[in-house]
Structure 1
Amino acid sequence: MTIISDLINKIPSPCFVLEEALLERNLAIFARVQQEAPVKVMLALKGFSLFHSFPILRKTLPGASASSLWEAQLAAEKFGGEVHVYSPAYRDEDLPQILPLASHLTFNSVTQWERYAPIITKSSSHPSIGLRINPEYSPVKTALYNPCVPYTRLGVLENQLGDTLPKGVEGFLCHNLCESDSYALEKTLSQIEQLFGRFLSQLKWLNLGGGHLMTRKEYDVDHAIEIIKAFHKRYPHLRLIIEPGSAIAWETGFLLSTVQDLIPTPALTNVMLDISFTAHTPDCLEMPYKPVIRGAHDPQDGEKAYCMGGSSCLAGDFIGNYAFTEDLSIGDRLIFEDMMHYTMVKTSMFNGVVHPAIGMIKKDGTFVLWRKFSYQDYCARLG
């Protein structure tokens, strides 16, 4: 979607900007997947929880998945439909509040299920109970994002179960992917059958978690549909579920920033921005990855290199290096592409730096401002 400069100049800086047309483009892919394969697609709030967009998402997605009480409340109050809840460890004070909200409730260990089973069986709310399993396979190279590393705390191993499921368990959750392709999904299903096949006849549902990047241009959607159909043919009684996080909001919006200062050095020019990578786009430093800037490219020999510097005092709050066809000037606006997923859900107010506003460019080309933050918001987080 081409964004004219006149519109960009009307958007406050910094600002997270969702593009409605691009979000609907992604949802069309998931609509097709649900029509052609026996699988339901949930919104994973841990990746994208911009509730202003929920009226758009609800047209395609039947519910949302949550990782905590607060996310479950958000799903129930703002999204509706099914609410799938999984937490690595539930708190005594949270679970009674989660029960009336959840349609599906998954436990990270048999111990946690056995601990809370008496409470759940006595409750008037009866979500379908699941266990998270560890398939002992993940294609994820970055350890920080790999839930199947040795001695992981996430999920039940095959050798920790007997030949029958714990009483009351009706489903499995397997989450081992991160921005992965259909061949990783195929391998995952193979691992589940190999390690946990003896339980599949006892289940009602299988949740294949997130990390299915079906909206990436290179993703083979046809292959994913075929392997899901083939798996379901072998286990027709199973209800299959996926809960993408990144994929829903993949390449659907940007983070707008403004150049505040330029600091030249013999090797490069530091660009001082009104955003912070550590506070506003932490995945750039954690993954790490270098975000795309509209109109920029990797520096070639002889080109001026610009290093993007964040607005916090953290020495490592920078991303580089970039080159532009024209020299940058103070006041120039820069667009960091693909900044919807795992940004707003992970932002902080470290250093009290100005928090990006949130808005959307509608299909008619107009901009709507949903949220602007203030000093009072900063204070409210501290007491």
Structure 2
Amino acid sequence: MESNLHFSKVSEHLDIIPSPCYVMEEELLRRNLELIRSVKERAGVEIILAFKSFAMWKSFPIFREYIHFTTASSPYEARLAFEEFGSKAHTYSPAYTEEDFSEILRCSNHITFNSFSQYERFYPQVKAYAEPISCGIRVNPEYSEVEVELYNPCAPGTRFGVTADLLPEQLPEGIEGFHCHCHCESSSYELEHTLQHLEEKFSRWFPQLKWLNLGGGHLMTREDYDVEHLVRLLQGLQARYPHLHLILEPGSAFTWQTGPLVSRVVDIVESRGIRTAILDVSFTCHMPDCLEMPYQPKVRGAETLPDEAVKHAKPNDPIYRLGGNSCLSGDYMGAWRFDHFLQVGEPVIFEDMIHYTMVKTNMFNGIQHPGIALLRADGTLDVYKRFTYEDYKNRMS
């Protein structure tokens, strides 16, 4: 699949886009959804949307044309699935609480427990519930190729899942599925390696199961992803265990490269030869993954350079560090080379800011939140949300 960035039309409509604003493009979203539906149909699996990556609920009518279910990890996400997506959630949480579990029951059709102690505590409520709910247990294959430990659910000492040595020969009453998640923006070849470990450790329990959830992190809409290999892998797994309903719950794949964060330059400052363009957005508030992961996002029309380049820029070289507008000293990244010297008021467009970024934003320092909008295929803009002082005030009350 060719990179969605080649097809973006945001630059053509900057005159109608408020700043700052997250702008998802309908055409790019549909390209991803069509590919995901194709994988689902050819492989004979269920692919569901993980809200932890994307929860812009006003766009759900588009998603419902392609998929039927979503995955939740909290009562709020489960409620969003039930009330706004229109179907009950596949819910997993590291730990449910007595206060929240009644809402989880109301809004879920699948519930996965992270431990047997959680199962023993809450399964009686599931069993007594008026409607059938399929339960599962999260398993830990003790294998992952995720290099950043912050995102590695199988790191030593992880709090996620049950290892094979802790499973009884006969699974407890009501456990109908295994949930396994150990990927992050991973390839189909990493999934192939994971399946080898998963089957080696856990396949002896598969005859007792009805479903197998392979979690998220399957970045099938990335340009270099081997989609055909993924389909063959899933078809092979289904052939080996035809009684199992296979489920994937990617997050990023759905909204990968579907839209940018549009910002504008509000000032240019220079200190000790380092030139910084201060924007009307913040890395710590609006792009926290850039500081957590960390990674340097692509900026439209600019060349990404090593951080050190900003310290050695020549006076006639338009190299900039980009700075956020919060009071956090480290609210900046750099460097980028532009093809001209930046001016106050001109747009700076951060690519691929729809997955994970929007759901992680915060209101530190009372910084104004970017708006949220959908650029329709016909070039019209639906502004779903403009944040105001009242949003900040109500959050702090």
Mark yes or no: TM-score above 0.5: yes
1:355 to 357, 363, 369: 369
> After TM superposition, where is structure 1 displaced by more than 6 Å over at least 4 residues in a row?
none
Mapped contact 2:266–2:345 kept (Cα < 8 A):
yes
Mapped contact 2:373–2:385 kept (Cα < 8 A):
yes
1:123 to 126, 129, 147: 129
| Normalised TM-score (structure 1) | 0.98
| Corresponding residue for residue 364 of structure 1 | 378
Q: How many residues align?
A: 383
One-letter code aligned to 1:276: S
Mapped contact 1:62–1:82 kept (Cα < 8 A):
no
Other structure's SS at 1:225 match: helix
| Corresponding residue for residue 3 of structure 2 | none
What is the RMSD computed on CA atoms of the aligned residues?
1.2
Mapped contact 2:113–2:119 kept (Cα < 8 A):
yes
2:17 to 3, 11, 18: 11
| Corresponding residue for residue 166 of structure 1 | 172
Mapped contact 2:70–2:90 kept (Cα < 8 A):
yes
Going from structure 1 to structure 2, the CA distance change for 1:356 and 1:188 (only over 3 Å counts) comes to same
| Corresponding residue for residue 392 of structure 2 | 378
Q: Does residue 1:344 correspond to 2:375, yes or no?
A: no
Which region of structure 1 is more displaced relative to structure 2, 6-15 or 201-210? 6-15
Going from structure 1 to structure 2, the CA distance change for 1:4 and 1:205 (only over 3 Å counts) comes to closer
How far off is 1:304 after superposition?
Answer: 3.1
Mapped contact 1:214–1:221 kept (Cα < 8 A):
yes
| Corresponding residue for residue 28 of structure 1 | 34
Q: Does residue 1:87 correspond to 2:93, yes or no?
A: yes
1:58 to 36, 54, 64: 64
Residue identity over aligned pairs, in percent, reads 50
In 2, the alpha carbon distance for the partners of 1:255 and 1:12 equals: 11
| Corresponding residue for residue 239 of structure 1 | 245
| Corresponding residue for residue 337 of structure 2 | 323
How far off is 1:298 after superposition?
Answer: 3.0
| Corresponding residue for residue 140 of structure 2 | 134
How far off is 1:4 after superposition?
Answer: 6.5
How far off is 1:82 after superposition?
Answer: 4.4
How far off is 1:113 after superposition?
Answer: 0.3
In 2, the alpha carbon distance for the partners of 1:351 and 1:158 equals: 46
One-letter code aligned to 1:379: K
How far off is 1:214 after superposition?
Answer: 0.2
How far off is 1:344 after superposition?
Answer: 1.2
One-letter code aligned to 1:378: Y
In 1, the alpha carbon distance for the partners of 2:181 and 2:64 equals: 23
Deviations 1:212-252 (A, max 9, x none): 00000000000000011001101000000001111100000
Which region of structure 1 is more displaced relative to structure 2, 66-75 or 118-127? 118-127
Task: Output aligned runs, 1:307-322, within 5 Å.
Answer: 307-322=321-336
Q: Which stretches in structure 2 are left out of the alignment for 5+ residues?
A: 1-6
| Corresponding residue for residue 108 of structure 1 | 114
Mapped contact 2:187–2:225 kept (Cα < 8 A):
yes
How far off is 1:5 after superposition?
Answer: 5.0
Which region of structure 1 is more displaced relative to structure 2, 319-328 or 299-308? 299-308
Deviations 1:285-340 (A, max 9, x none): 10100000000003587533200101111111111100111110111111100000
Other structure's SS at 1:251 match: coil
Other structure's SS at 1:100 match: helix
| Corresponding residue for residue 70 of structure 1 | 76
In 1, the alpha carbon distance for the partners of 2:169 and 2:262 equals: 54
In 2, the alpha carbon distance for the partners of 1:241 and 1:247 equals: 15
One-letter code aligned to 2:221: T
Q: Which stretches in structure 1 are left out of the alignment for 5+ residues?
A: none
In 1, the alpha carbon distance for the partners of 2:54 and 2:375 equals: 17
| Normalised TM-score (structure 2) | 0.94
How far off is 1:173 after superposition?
Answer: 0.6
| Corresponding residue for residue 41 of structure 1 | 47
One-letter code aligned to 2:337: A
In 1, the alpha carbon distance for the partners of 2:245 and 2:204 equals: 17
Going from structure 1 to structure 2, the CA distance change for 1:69 and 1:369 (only over 3 Å counts) comes to same
